[in-house]
Structure 1
Amino acid sequence: MNFNLLKELCSVHAPSGNEIAMKEFLIEYIRSNQHDWRVKPLIIEGDGFQDGFLLVFGNPITAVFAHMDSIGFTVRYGHQLVPIGGPEQKSGYKLRGSDSQGEILCELEVSREEEISYKFSRQIERGTELVFDCNFREDQHFVQSCYLDNRLGVFNALKLAETLENGIIAFSCWEEHGGGSVSVLAKYIYENFKVRQALISDITWITEGVRHGQGVVISMRDRSIPRRGYLNKIINLAKTSGIPFQLEVEAFGGSDGKELQASPYPFDWVFIGAAEDNVHSPDEKVHKEDISSMINMYKFLMENL
């Protein structure tokens, strides 16, 4: 599999609240490549969706949600930083951004009191967003980079789009910092297409129960709990697919699913994604076989749900 697109996605500056560069990248990619797809989708976007948008294929029954944003840091006063979401904080990490004075490549510093700041030759303008500098690596078995969570979920959605005949792909914002975009997208999807079942294209964790190279993860629960009837339907279909998968049970973590569950619309949802090591760091690591099984599982489920 060619991962050049994934490498590009990982390099796009799109921390929570400032997803516009990712939206523009994706819409340009979609318009440039959709002539090779099985079905040309309807692109629905605009001020009513803020920076989120939808791709609608054929007569949709199921929606796939993939969040575009990443974790990062906001410059406060002086050299202080404030986290965006939950980034790993370790002195020496390279951070990148820009302000009115130019491009920035600086270092994260963490004090003994666990206060975070940046090290740079000048003071960076307050409110500037900094993200991990992208160092994308690939070997025989793994890809490794910052922001595989959730650029890999977006990559999966784009690979799905190549053959999708009926369905919706929803690109959302703010997931890493509390959400707020999915409810707007869900309202439009339900009221205009009566779609009320969803898959969450996101990345989960390697744990004592989830291993590299054992297949895509179907999450039975995290901090939120999907409706068991829909979850069982997904698992039973997955068993018939012949595609490797693992089951996950966690007490923590969340996704766009929690916003769907909290919305006033009767959406069912299940989180399905590859698992990574080194979560929320510049060195997130995912097995290539798990990426393949994620893409194949989404194609299978969207044809059979």
Structure 2
Amino acid sequence: MELLKKLCEIHAPSGEEISMKEFILKYVNEKMNGWKSQPVIVADQIQDSLVLVFGKPRLAVFAHMDSIGFTVRYDNKLVRIGSPVIESGFVLTGRDSIGNIECKLKYDEDTKEISVDYDRIIERGTSLVYKSNFREDHEFVLSQYIDNRLGVYNCLKLAETLENGIIAFSCWEEHGSGSVEVLSKLIYEKYKVSQALIADITWVTEGVFHGKGVVISMRDQFIPRQSYIRKIMDIADKAKIKYQLEVEGSGSSDGGYLQRTAFPFDWCFIGAPEDGVHSPNEKVHKGDIESMLDIYKLLFEKL
């Protein structure tokens, strides 16, 4: 879990994914000579996104690098990045030109105003994120930003044995997207790939549980082509991969952004479930992390 811990500690809210891109690039360059296949690295002219191309790809996986957080406005007031949980007392960290920042979030129930308790005015436009606090035991991992550092972790572990496929690390998923539209054009037009998986984190609900396996989402706010979803289910069934089915009417991911492009991608969201979503205490079962990686390895062989 040391790699996941490092990923969770990186300051990379939406719009500031560059630090995550730099970490991944350094990691890939250090590790890839020991991988089964060495990827072509596509890092230029796609802003802060990153694409790894292995062999002769038939399938791509998208994993967003950004997290939720806050932007400092005026007089230490905050605006949300994405949809973070708001609770007075949460510890936030960041940095402006004056120095490192550690402060406490304040929420006014009457005015609904979000601000921070700090001993000076923080520079406008400074981003703040939940303070790092990575914990684990024999069964669970508990941390800020499991969403979606676990998706990134899954892709980097997948890369160790991947022979044919594309790994696309995207930006802005938590705050309106923008990079999937660019990446889909590159992947479809240059590499002729139109099958995709979305490596992201979903919710523990009344029908999805900790420790019951990775989640295959049949739909959320968006509805992917169901014949593709059932093809994936059939592959998982034959391999006896432990999984759960999700059916939701809200929420979205890079899959929704992909569906709205001009390119005919089939896509399926597959990820581990967590509770404490978008809080400093996101919680995921280690067994679900394992089954997530297992199904990705299988699907890159079979699809």
Q: Structures share a fold, TM > 0.5?
A: yes
Q: Tell me which residue corresponds to 1:148.
A: 146
Q: CA deviation at 1:121?
A: 1.0
Q: Tell me which residue corresponds to 2:272.
A: 274
Identity of aligned residues (%): 61
Amino acid in structure 2 at the alignment position of 1:218? I
Residues 1:104 and 2:101 are matched in the alignment: yes
Once the two structures are superposed, the pairs formed by residues 166-245 of structure 1 within 5 Å of their partners are: 166-245=164-243
Q: Deviations over 1:68-92 (max 9, x none)?
A: 0000000000021000000000000
Segments of structure 2 that go 5 or more residues without pairing to the other structure are none
Q: Tell me which residue corresponds to 1:246.
A: 244
Q: Distance in 1 between matches of 2:256 and 2:46?
A: 19
Q: Tell me which residue corresponds to 1:82.
A: 79
Q: Tell me which residue corresponds to 2:116.
A: 118
Amino acid in structure 2 at the alignment position of 1:215? G
Segments of structure 1 that go 5 or more residues without pairing to the other structure are none
Q: 2:92 aligns with which of 92, 95, 103?
A: 95
Residues 1:49 and 2:46 are matched in the alignment: yes
Q: CA deviation at 1:32?
A: 0.3
Please give the secondary structure, in 2, of the residue aligned with 1:43.
Answer: strand
Please give the secondary structure, in 1, of the residue aligned with 2:80.
Answer: strand
Q: Deviations over 1:157-188 (max 9, x none)?
A: 00100000000000000000011100100100
Q: Distance in 2 between matches of 1:109 and 1:241?
A: 49
Aligned length: 302
Q: Distance in 2 between matches of 1:214 and 1:240?
A: 18
Once the two structures are superposed, the pairs formed by residues 261-300 of structure 1 within 5 Å of their partners are: 261-300=259-298
Once the two structures are superposed, the pairs formed by residues 33-48 of structure 1 within 5 Å of their partners are: 33-46=31-44, 48=45
Q: CA deviation at 1:115?
A: 1.3
Q: Distance in 1 between matches of 2:241 and 2:296?
A: 10
Q: Distance in 1 between matches of 2:239 and 2:204?
A: 23
Q: Deviations over 1:206-243 (max 9, x none)?
A: 00000000000000000010001111111111111211
Q: CA deviation at 1:107?
A: 0.5
Please give the secondary structure, in 1, of the residue aligned with 2:6.
Answer: helix
Please give the secondary structure, in 1, of the residue aligned with 2:150.
Answer: helix
Q: Distance in 2 between matches of 1:204 and 1:239?
A: 21
Q: Distance in 1 between matches of 2:258 and 2:209?
A: 28
Q: 1:164 aligns with which of 162, 179, 183?
A: 162
Please give the secondary structure, in 2, of the residue aligned with 1:223.
Answer: coil
Q: CA deviation at 1:36?
A: 1.0
Amino acid in structure 2 at the alignment position of 1:176? E
Q: Tell me which residue corresponds to 2:5.
A: 7
Amino acid in structure 2 at the alignment position of 1:63? A
Amino acid in structure 2 at the alignment position of 1:248? E
Q: CA deviation at 1:259?
A: 1.2
Q: Deviations over 1:215-274 (max 9, x none)?
A: 000000000100011111111111112111000000111000011100101100000000
Q: CA deviation at 1:112?
A: 1.6
Please give the secondary structure, in 2, of the residue aligned with 1:33.
Answer: helix
Please give the secondary structure, in 2, of the residue aligned with 1:107.
Answer: strand
Residues 1:135 and 2:133 are matched in the alignment: yes
RMSD, matched Cα = 0.5
Residues 1:32 and 2:65 are matched in the alignment: no
Q: 1:58 aligns with which of 22, 41, 55?
A: 55
Amino acid in structure 2 at the alignment position of 1:160? L
Please give the secondary structure, in 2, of the residue aligned with 1:156.
Answer: helix
Q: Distance in 2 between matches of 1:252 and 1:276?
A: 16
Q: Distance in 2 between matches of 1:164 and 1:242?
A: 21
